[in-house]
Amino acid sequence: MTKPTLGSYPFLLGFEQLERLVERTAKSGNEGYPPYNIEQSGDRSYRITLAVAGFSEEDIAITVENRQLLIHGRQTDDAEGRVFLHRGIAARQFHRSFVLADGMEVSGATLEHGLLHVDLERVEPESVVKTIRIGGKAASKGEKTR
């Protein structure tokens, strides 16, 4: 017996990209560093907060690529010339990724008191009405049809 996929259902046309998105999300690392919160801050806005104590703005890179929010952190090790009796605060790098839905955009990011806040906003898509002519091509609203 094979696992049913979205493409195997006849009424779900064009959802192959959604299936790839689910697979990509499942493959993303589930490590616990740095810890984070996701909160809804309004009807169409969200905030991701990461605990990044010890990182400066220059140590963190935030990018969006193919609807995936990528947050990278790399600290420079300034331990040169210092002798540690115990080193419990590691200068380590991290990588966090979040898959964004269609219409989600990053509206800003701030770093304060060791917390990185990334604000997201859902932009409402413009409604497009198309008229489909029988035996012809689709015409967008506002285009003249013959």
Taking the model in full, what pTM does it have?
Answer: 0.67
Question: CA-to-CA distance for 96 and 69, rounded, in angstroms?
Answer: 8
Higher pLDDT pick, 127 / 12: 127
DSSP designation for 18: H
89 and 118 housed in the same domain = yes
Q: Tell me if 145 is assigned to some domain.
A: no
User: What beta strand segments (E) does the chain contain?
Assistant: 36-40, 45-51, 60-65, 68-73, 94-99, 104-112, 115-122, 130-132, 138-140
Summarised one tens digit per residue, pLDDT across range 63-109 is: 999 889 999 999 876 777 888 888 777 668 899 999 898 889 999 99
- The number of distinct structural domains making up the chain is 2
> Which residue in this structure is represented by tokens 């990011």?
109
37 and 9 housed in the same domain = no
Question: CA-to-CA distance for 114 and 51, rounded, in angstroms?
Answer: 6
1 and 16 housed in the same domain = yes
By percentage, how much of the chain surpasses pLDDT 70?
69
Q: Tell me if 82 is assigned to some domain.
A: yes
8 and 74 housed in the same domain = no
Q: Tell me if 91 is assigned to some domain.
A: yes
24 and 8 housed in the same domain = yes
| Contact by Cβ (8 Å): 138, 60 | no
47 and 21 housed in the same domain = no
6 and 20 housed in the same domain = yes
| Contact by Cβ (8 Å): 105, 120 | yes
